[in-house]
Amino acid sequence: MKHCYVLWILLFSPPEFDSLKPIIRAISQNLYYEDVQCKIEILLGDARESIPKIKEPIDIIYQDAFSPAHNPLLWTREHFTSIRAITKDDAILTTYSIAASIRLGLYENGFYIFIHSAKLMRKSTVASLAMLEGIEYIDMELKKIRNPTAKSMRDEEYRETKRY
Ligand SMILES: C[S@@+](CC[C@H](N)C(=O)[O-])C[C@H]1O[C@@H](n2cnc3c(N)ncnc32)[C@H](O)[C@@H]1O
CATH node for 46-158: 3.40.50.150
Give the Cα separation of 84 and 103 in Å (integer).
14
Provide φ and ψ at 26, rounded to 5°.
-65, -45
Residue whose Cα lies nearest atom 4 of ligand 1: it is 64
Euclidean distance between the first and the last CA atom of the chain, given in angstroms as a whole number:
18
* Cβ atoms of residues 47 and 53 within 8 Å: no
**Cα-to-centroid distance, 71 and ligand 1 (Å):** 9
pLDDT of residue 117: 94
pLDDT of residue 2: 58
pLDDT of residue 161: 61
pLDDT of residue 159: 74
**Cα-to-centroid distance, 39 and ligand 1 (Å):** 19
- Ligand 1 lined by 5 (C-beta under 6 Å): no
> Which of 6, 9, 74 gets mutated to test ligand 1 (max ligand atoms within 8 A of its CB)?
74
Residues of the chain below pLDDT 70: 1-10, 160-164
**Cα-to-centroid distance, 118 and ligand 1 (Å):** 25
- Ligand 1 lined by 46 (C-beta under 6 Å): yes
What is the amino acid identity at position 109? N
* Cβ atoms of residues 89 and 128 within 8 Å: no
User: Where are the CATH 3.40.50.150 domain residues in the chain?
Assistant: 46-158
How does pLDDT run across 110-132, given as a tens digit for each residue? 999 999 999 999 999 999 999 99
What is the enclosing helix (H) or strand (E) of 10?
Answer: helix 2-12
Provide φ and ψ at 104, rounded to 5°.
-65, -40
Using the CB atoms, write b or e for 55-74: b if 16+ within 10 Å.
Answer: eeeeeebebebeebeeebbb
